[in-house]
Amino acid sequence: MEQTLAIIKPDAVQRNLAGKILARLEAEGFVILGLKMVYLSNQDAERFYAVHRGRPFFESLTSYMASGPAIPILLQRDNAIQTLRELMGATNPMQAATGTIRQEFGLDVEKNAMHGSDSPASAVQEIPFFFNYLEFRERS
């Protein structure tokens, strides 16, 4: 079993899409190990997205992620990272495949409804940013 991090972004929370997105994740066989609503500060968002520091979209992305509540989710299933990436679709909702979460719920490249870890290395770094070892246990 593999674990990954997903985040329902502020635009999707604001538009009351969290329940629909969670239902899609569960329908795809993901087990929710951890779930919470958070309010990131600009500094928190900058720390989380530090890998993108120096890129033209960094300031806009971090300001956006601090603009309202977000919902980090710790997910588990076989091949969780790749399966989540496929379910989310392309970063740009206009280029995302039909039926993906971003195609259905995304507004633009930034307000694309969800974040998902893009590799095992990212997942290992991102999960403890939001969840500590007391908050979840692996399920078999």
Please tell me which residue in 9, 24, 111, 115 is annotated as part of the active site: 115
Active-site annotation holds for 52: no
The β-bridge relationship of strands 31-35 and 71-77 is antiparallel
Token representation of residue 73: 């989710």
What one-character DSSP code corresponds to residue 4?
Answer: E
Q: How far apart are the C-alpha atoms of 83 and 29, rounded to whole Å? A: 10
| Residues identified as active-site | 115
